[in-house]
Amino acid sequence: MTLKLNAHLAFVVFGLSVLRQCLGQDVEINCFETGQVGSCSSFVTTFCGYTVNNAISPSNSLSACFNNGDFSCAFTAFNTNTGDVASIPSTVGCEEILDGVGVLCPMGGQGQFEGPNYLFTAHPTVGSCTTDST
């Protein structure tokens, strides 16, 4: 078990760190160990589709929330790059990472390819979204 504090999230992540291969690159996935249990997999393609239409500046993020019955699913794509140039996250990379989170992490989690790039998060949450992204 690893303890991670991510300044870009509003909570402390107690996570199981898993390294797996996606797209020929190493991916680190950290699972949340507390919170709502639920699958957000049905919204991964929709969320990752939103990301291709938005250039995200370094140290900024794109978020979306989807209602899923008794709970909601919050997604984030955070640009961990430094510099001045906005970029568009890879849809395939987004889907690969968030699909991995869906398989490995019943309470959600986050992951990214090695090196500075995008940190993708899927987090099932108690209650409904303030604004549903569907």
Give me the residue spans of the domains in the chain: 2-126
Give the pLDDT band (50/70/90) at residue 8.
very low
Residue with tokens 């890879």: 90
pLDDT for 52 equals 86
Measured CA to CA in angstroms, residue 20 lies from 7, 53, 67, 124 at distances of 24, 28, 29, 22
How many other C-beta atoms lie within 10 A of the C-beta of residue 64?
20
Q: Which residue has the higher pLDDT, 40 or 53?
A: 40
C-alpha–C-alpha distance, residues 82 and 84, integer Å: 7
Q: What is the mean pLDDT of the chain?
A: 82
Lowest mean per-residue pLDDT among 5-19, 23-37, 43-57:
5-19
Q: What pLDDT digit, counting tens, does each position of 43-74 carry?
A: 999 999 998 888 999 999 999 999 998 999 99
Q: What angle do CA 104, 109, 13 make, to 5 degrees?
A: 130
In terms of Cβ atoms closer than 10 Å to its own Cβ (0-12, 13-18, 19+), residue 5 is exposed
HSE of 1, CA atoms in CB hemisphere, 13 A = 6
Question: Using one digit for the tens of pLDDT, what is the confidence trace for 106-119?
Answer: 999 999 987 668 99
